[in-house]
């Protein structure tokens, strides 16, 4: 199944790079990619403009969709384990709200002081700050249980979003459309030089989740069972929260706020491969990447040549999915 998923992912990337306002055949897409990796390997039968569209615009965007989809899905799967909450997702802890605060501050009040990395950098710092606030509030209140940590995250999320709305209210109204587009999610800022940051963080955090898959299985059963197996429950839960915050903060910094991916994908994965996190972790990353690539394709072509925010597509699909899931459980 994983091998088949990799094939589907490669085909999805090829299709995503092909479609758009300017249609480019898949043979040209792969020719450009091969020629960029190994120059003069294949004869050049395409124009410089099409090569720029494939290599400089569409391929980095498709790869960023893969990284963001995989990262958000991994965090959702891990949080659903340590909180034993089927509705847990990367936005649960106020991380996305912190990222939104940082991005709005950069877009409306600071400007591009460090170039194109300004918005991702400010968004990441905001997400990290919100995470530290959640951990600080939970420690101050002695909230070490899963439910208390979730409540602390929800409270911080409301506070941070209120502060972000104040920044929007005080900012230049002519720039509000840029803020709205970022808050609804978008991959239009993808560049080759930026992809290394989410890639490195995804590999590191994903490896940690996969190596601790046995502990995540135990946490699904309950704190008592995990404790009897020798797992330091409180410390492990906090570690998963921090690792998830790091991964989510980096993804949100480069893509904006994209909802429902981390909430929906782990449920579908469990239908396909079961509940063992040794399988759930890699399958979630793979399916999340495929899903977000197709969501981005839909966002680009449904109102072409306009670029619809990808968060609208994921929100619509995610909402319909959970309506179906509720109906299915009711029938059961």
Within 8 A by CB and 6+ apart from 252, the residues are 90, 95, 96, 99, 100, 123, 124, 127, 258
Expressed as residue numbers, the domain containing 104 is: 2-331
Within 8 A by CB and 6+ apart from 287, the residues are 5, 73, 265, 268, 269, 272
| Mean per-residue pLDDT, 30-58 | 87
Cα(149)–Cα(215) distance, integer angstroms: 19
Q: Of the segments 67-71, 76-80, 155-159, 257-261, which one has the largest average pLDDT value? A: 67-71
Q: DSSP character for 309?
A: -
Cα(264)–Cα(133) distance, integer angstroms: 27
Per the CB < 8 A criterion, the answer to whether 53 and 22 are in contact is yes
Cα(124)–Cα(253) distance, integer angstroms: 5
Tokens 């998830």 sit on residue: 244
Tokens of 110: 């600071």
- The radius of gyration of the chain's CA atoms, rounded to the nearest angstrom, is 20
Asked if pLDDT for residue 316 goes beyond 80, the answer is yes
Asked if pLDDT for residue 172 goes beyond 80, the answer is no
Cα(301)–Cα(314) distance, integer angstroms: 15
Tell me, what's the pLDDT at 228?
Answer: 87
Residue 145 phi/psi, 5-degree rounding, is -75, 165
Report the CATH number at residue 210: 1.10.3470.10
Per-residue pLDDT band at 331 (split at 50, 70, 90): low
Tell me, what's the pLDDT at 145?
Answer: 63
Tell me, what's the pLDDT at 248?
Answer: 87
Domains held by the chain: number:
1
The CA–CA distances, whole Å, from 226 to 75, 150, 234, 288, 289 equal: 20, 19, 10, 28, 31
| Average pLDDT of the chain to the nearest whole number | 86
Is the peptide bond between 301 and the residue preceding it cis, with omega within 30 degrees of 0? no
Burial status of residue 170 (CB atoms within 10 A of its CB: 0-12, 13-18, 19 or more)? exposed
């Amino acid at each position: 199944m994983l091998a088949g998923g990799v094939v589907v992912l490669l085909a999805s990337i090829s299709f995503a790079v092909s479609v758009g306002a300017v249609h480019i055949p898949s043979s040209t897409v792969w020719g450009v990619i091969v020629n960029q990796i190994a120059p003069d390997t294949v004869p050049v039968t395409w124009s410089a403009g099409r090569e720029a569209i494939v290599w400089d615009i569409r391929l980095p965007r498709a790869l960023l969709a893969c990284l963001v989809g995989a990262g958000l899905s991994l965090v959702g799967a891990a949080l659903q384990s340590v909180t034993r909450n089927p509705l847990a997702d990367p936005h649960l802890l106020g991380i996305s709200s912190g990222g939104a605060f940082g991005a709005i501050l950069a877009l409306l009040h600071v400007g591009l002081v460090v170039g194109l990395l300004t918005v991702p950098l400010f968004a990441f710092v905001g997400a990290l700050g919100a995470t530290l606030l959640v951990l600080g509030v939970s420690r101050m209140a002695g909230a070490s249980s899963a439910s208390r940590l979730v409540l602390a995250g929800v409270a911080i999320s409301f506070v941070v979003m209120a502060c972000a709305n104040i920044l929007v209210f005080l900012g230049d109204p002519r720039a509000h459309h840029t803020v709205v587009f970022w808050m609804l999610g978008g991959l239009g800022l993808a560049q080759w030089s930026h992809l290394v940051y989410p890639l490195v963080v995804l590999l590191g955090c994903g490896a940690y989740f996969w190596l601790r898959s046995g502990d995540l299985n135990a946490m699904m059963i309950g704190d008592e069972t995990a404790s009897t197996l020798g797992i330091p429950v409180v410390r492990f839960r906090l570690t998963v929260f921090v690792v998830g915050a790091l991964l989510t903060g980096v993804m949100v910094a480069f893509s904006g706020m994209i909802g429902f991916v981390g909430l929906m994908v782990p449920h579908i994965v469990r239908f396909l491969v079961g509940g063992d996190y040794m399988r759930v972790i890699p399958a979630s990353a793979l399916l999340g990447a495929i899903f977000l690539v197709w969501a981005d394709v839909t966002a680009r072509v449904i109102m072409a040549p306009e670029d619809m925010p990808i968060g609208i597509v994921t929100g619509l699909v995610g909402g319909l999915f959970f309506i179906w899931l509720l109906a299915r459980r009711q029938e059961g």
